[in-house]
Amino acid sequence: MRAGEMRKTSLSPEGTRGGGFGHRLGNALRTTVLLAGLTALLLVVGERLGGPQGLVVAGFFVVVMNFTSYWFSDRIALAMHGAQPLEYAEAPWLHAMVERLATRAGMPKPRIYLLPIRTPNAFATGRNPEHAAVAVTAGLMDILDQRELEGVLAHELAHVKNRDTLIGTVAATLAGVISYAAQMLFFFGGSLLSRDDDEEGLGHTLGNLGVLLVAPIAATLLQLAVSRSREYGADTTGAQLCGDPDALADALLKLERGAELMPYDRAPATSHLFIVNPLSGGAIMHLFSTHPPIVERVRRLREMSALSPRAPRPWRNAWA
């Protein structure tokens, strides 16, 4: 591995915590709007599907899904990808790196998991900093050097610090159910299209069809809005935590190339959790990507680096 240099940003750990609070406050407001919108969409689909009874059923599902997502989001996400706990004795240098970043962020050290896949990537999950986990793939540690890896880990801890992990899981769950409900209507939607048809005529039927078509698209767009904004926020907070915006920028370029060469499509509904989109796709797919363009993320990080005081220092840990 090649030697790296760290560059301090103008923010100290204390300053990073202060800025994080403002970001978390804005994140909470966006989350409230997002979940309210997704919940309303699900309730509308339920009402159109089954009238008042469908509305009650949809409301019940919302409560159950939010409860499940809140308490078990980390276990669900990790199990879906076959993640295994990475013990301290297996990678003490990695645990030390995560612990150092967590201390700088003012949060407990999250659990560390390994995904036995070649695609270089990482994600964080958990309902709050006290119940969080960071998962890295085997391919990630194969292609990144020390400073780049710390940049990626800082990005993931930033998601935990900013409460993004809970947002992503709940949003994905609600959006997925809305889309699934719409798909069911295509197969079992006779009652939807004919309910009260004699009373309300063609206008009612067309209105139902409109909900059928628009609801999944609206759910996806709402999810994309929060997913893209949170990636920019995690890049900024992560660059502050590791003190080297260029390290994260360099890592993103490598990870984008790795995802292109070795796309990973297990559990596509969780693709937004990863630091770079693990799915492959053309130009049309990029319009609906849960991640902002890598080139724009890198540009912002380079600007952060250019505005930061440069203070090179030797690497603090040996690569074990």
HSE of 314 in the Cβ direction (CA atoms, 13 Å)? 4
Q: What is the CA radius of gyration of the chain?
A: 22
Residue 313 within a domain: no
CA distance 304 to 298: 10
| % the chain with pLDDT above 90 | 39
Averaged confidence pLDDT in the chain: 77
Tally the domains of the chain. Answer: 1
Q: Please give the average per-residue pLDDT across 221-246, as a whole number.
A: 83
- Asked if residue 24 lies in contact with residue 162, where contact means CB atoms within 8 angstroms, the answer is yes
Residue 120 within a domain: yes
Nearest 5°: CA angle at 104, between 99 and 106? 95
- Tell me which residue of 303, 285, 237, 247 sits closest to 22, measured CA to CA: 237
Q: What is the pLDDT of residue 107?
A: 95
Q: What is the pLDDT of residue 93?
A: 96
Tokens standing for residue 14:
């204390």
Residue 316 within a domain: no
Residue 312 within a domain: no
Q: Which amino acid is at 21?
A: F
Residue 215 within a domain: yes
Q: Is the pLDDT of residue 297 over 90?
A: yes
Q: What is the pLDDT of residue 70?
A: 74
Range with lowest mean pLDDT among 7-16, 38-47, 79-88, 249-258: 7-16
CA distance 163 to 25: 10
Tell me the pLDDT tens digit for each residue of 134-156: 999 999 999 999 999 999 999 99
Tell me the pLDDT tens digit for each residue of 144-196: 999 999 999 999 999 999 888 877 766 666 666 666 666 666 565 544 444 55
CA distance 309 to 282: 39
Residue 1 within a domain: no
Q: Give the global pTM.
A: 0.76
Range with lowest mean pLDDT among 84-88, 278-282, 303-307: 278-282
CA distance 122 to 86: 14
- Asked if residue 127 lies in contact with residue 166, where contact means CB atoms within 8 angstroms, the answer is yes
Q: Is the pLDDT of residue 252 over 60?
A: yes
Q: Please give the average per-residue pLDDT across 79-89, as a whole number.
A: 94
Long-range pairs of 136-144 with CB within 8 A, sequence gap ≥ 24? 136/86, 136/94, 136/112, 138/114, 139/258, 139/262, 140/255, 141/94, 142/118, 143/254, 143/258, 144/120, 144/251, 144/254
The total of other beta-carbon atoms located within 10 Å of residue 102's CB is: 22
Composition of the chain by helix, strand, coil, percent to 5: 70, 5, 25
CA distance 136 to 152: 9
- Tell me which residue of 271, 275, 274 sits closest to 239, measured CA to CA: 275
Q: Please give the average per-residue pLDDT across 237-265, as a whole number.
A: 94
Q: Is the pLDDT of residue 270 over 60?
A: yes
Residue 48 within a domain: yes
Q: What is the pLDDT of residue 165?
A: 81
Q: What is the pLDDT of residue 33?
A: 73
Q: What's the domain range around 251?
A: 13-307
Q: Is the pLDDT of residue 37 over 80?
A: no
Active site residues: 156
Q: Please give the average per-residue pLDDT across 283-297, as a whole number.
A: 70
Residue 2 within a domain: no
